[in-house]
Amino acid sequence: MASDVQPKPVKRKPIEWFNLKGKRVGFWAYVGMRLSAIGLVLYLFLHLAVLSQLAVGPTAWDNFVALAKSPIFLLLDVILIIGILVHGLNGIRLSLIGFGIGVPSHKLMLWLAVILTIVFSILSALAIFSETH
């Protein structure tokens, strides 16, 4: 082909994986997996940073524990558990299909993971909020 006219190159923006246009259910699982992953990594570092209070001494830690019992922190706890459920249950699904187990029913497993996530999220939210009283 004559090379005097160049085609429009592909623009690969780093966030292109988050382009939701026309995507279907498997893609949502992938996006959910990735968003929960980013959230959990942030939480991990935050958690480790907070634990450094333990090295400071008993008062520092007990002050933090008191703060952690506030409703906003408890809500964050629930979000954390939802993230863990999304990532963990879908992770089990991905491991299974990655080793060739249950590939034809990957969508069924996804819906199962969604249902379990919802059920366990509600149960843990109830447990967390009732525990304080």
Residues lying near another protein in the complex (CB under 8 A)? 1-2, 5-10, 12-14, 16-17, 19, 21-24, 26-27, 29-30, 33-34, 37-38, 40-41, 44, 48, 51-52, 54-55, 57-58, 61-62, 65, 84, 88, 91-92, 94-95, 97-100, 103-104, 106-107
Task: Yes or no: say if 27 and 109 are a contact pair by the CB < 8 Å rule.
Answer: no
Alpha-carbon distance 130 to 133, whole Å?
A: 6
Residue with Cβ nearer another protein (26 or 115): 26
Closest CA to 129 of 61, 92, 81, 63: 81
Residue with Cβ nearer another protein (40 or 76): 40
Alpha-carbon distance 100 to 86, whole Å?
A: 21
CB 118, min distance to another protein, A: 18
Handedness of CA 73, 77, 78, 82 (dihedral sign): positive
Residue with Cβ nearer another protein (54 or 75): 54
